[in-house]
A and B are shown apart, each in its own frame.
Chain A
Amino acid sequence: MTELTQQQFFEQLSQAVVDQDETLAEKIATIIVRNGLDCAKAIETGLGGGMAKVGQLYETGEYFIPDLLVCADTVQNAAAILRTGLLQNPLSKGRVVLGTIFGDTHDIGKNIVALFLNSAGYEVLDLGKDVSAHLFVDEAVKWNADIIAVSTLMTTTMKNIKEVIDLLVAENKRNRFRVMVGGKPISHDFATKIKADGYANNAVQAVKLLDDTISKLRRNER
């Protein structure tokens, strides 16, 4: 198989993700595995590239939540097939504990963020909605997370996010985790004010934010 045909397969895979064609994506993934092509690259450029295009379509208002959900499923099913052809387990980019803050039961946006982070290679522990500050911190410690990601959709529950940060400080754990915040009423200013480490206004930007944060973290660890 030449480099060109391999590239063509990856492009077709990427297009299947954009077209929300789960069956085709699974078929291409199977061919890639059977022919011993580079599965890691297929995940990165085929699926990852497809999801990046989907993200752009979402940001420009051409794709909506139902589209994102089917695209994310397409990626996850094809990725499961491609993983069987990997020589070694893919390295997780990082561990994220995610949830909607207590008092708030909106979870559509948080779930989209979880899907995007998963598709981008993060391990995500989703604590659900109406999550207490204690649960965020305890689970992050237990799970040895890199990031605590907190979502809220209501102005009335924004202030609750600060309790997670205050608790980390009180328990002397503030330096162990990076805290990311998001959701409709959140802004950069608010994130700075409560001393969070980062903010993103949608799932595509959330992946970028975490990629930047994690690569800085890893650089500092070295």
Chain B
Amino acid sequence: MNPMKYCVAETHEKYDFVLEISAPFSAAAQAENGLAFYKRLQQEKSVVQKELEYIATNLIIEINTALPQIISIADPYANPVTLSETHIREFSLPYLFQLLSGLKTTSGGVIHLCPYSSFSLEKYGFVHVELVPFPDKPYMSVLSEYAQMKQLVFIGHQCIHTPTVNKIFLLHISNGVL
């Protein structure tokens, strides 16, 4: 079974310059039967955590070599409906954070995070958020503008499917959290 296969899901249904990626936790859940994986959180905590670290490490290498313009990251299996906050803090956020901190680029690009994940990252101090307001614009064109900048930008707190926005939430990675 190759969890990496599940990380790079597909290009966005409407915009082919957006690559949709599963965060390490959801990639692992999809590689295994989702429920069997959930059960292992209770029974094989340290084994699962090693697997997640492995996925994050390899995902960093793959993204750093390919680096598309906009990467949209979601972690749908790590959601507050199925998991407790403790599960999310132990199994999802640290590996998502490991992934984000490992991404390096010299050519800009945007990493877009699903709001479920970005709010949790903020809540537990993995990122801090800067709000930038502006008049109404299509969200995708705002993301494309940010993707042209020289440095890699992290954006979250709004669903990537939102048609029009009047603000953007920049995420700044906190140092020394892990």
Contact = CB atoms under 8 A, between A and B. Distances in A.
Q: Is the interface of B mostly helix, strand, loop or mixed?
A: helix
B82 interface: yes
Given A20-B42, A73-B39, A66 B83 contact: yes
A70 B43 contact: yes
B39 A108 contact: no
Contacts of A73: 39
Interface residues of B, number: 11
A183 to B, nearest CB: 12
Interface in B62-86: 82-84
B42 A67 contact: yes
A70 B42 CA distance: 8
A64 B39 contact: no
Interface string A62-75: 00111101100100
B42 A65 contact: no
Nearest to B85: A64
Nearest to A64: B84
A8 to B, nearest CB: 27
Contact of A69 (B38, B84, B87): B38
B34 A66 contact: no
Contacts of A151: none
Interface in A82-114: 108, 111
B77 to A, nearest CB: 9
A64 B82 contact: yes
Contacts of A65: 35, 38, 82-83
Contacts of B41: 66
B110 to A, nearest CB: 28
B82 A108 contact: yes
A49 to B, nearest CB: 21
A111 B87 CA distance: 20
Contacts of B42: 20, 66-67, 69-70
Interface in B29-66: 34-35, 38-39, 41-43
B87 to A, nearest CB: 7
A108 B79 CA distance: 12
A70 B39 contact: yes
A67 B42 CA distance: 7
A111 B84 contact: no
A108 B34 contact: yes
Interface in B119-164: none
B52 to A, nearest CB: 15
Given A66-B38, A70-B43, A111-B35, 15 more contacts: A64-B82, A64-B83, A64-B84, A64-B87, A65-B35, A65-B38, A66-B83, A66-B87, A67-B42, A69-B38, A69-B39, A69-B42, A70-B39, A73-B39, A108-B82
Interface of A: 20, 64-67, 69-70, 73, 108, 111
20 contacts: A20-B42, A64-B82, A64-B83, A64-B84, A64-B87, A65-B35, A65-B82, A65-B83, A66-B38, A66-B41, A66-B42, A66-B83, A67-B42, A69-B39, A69-B42, A70-B39, A70-B43, A73-B39, A108-B34, A108-B35
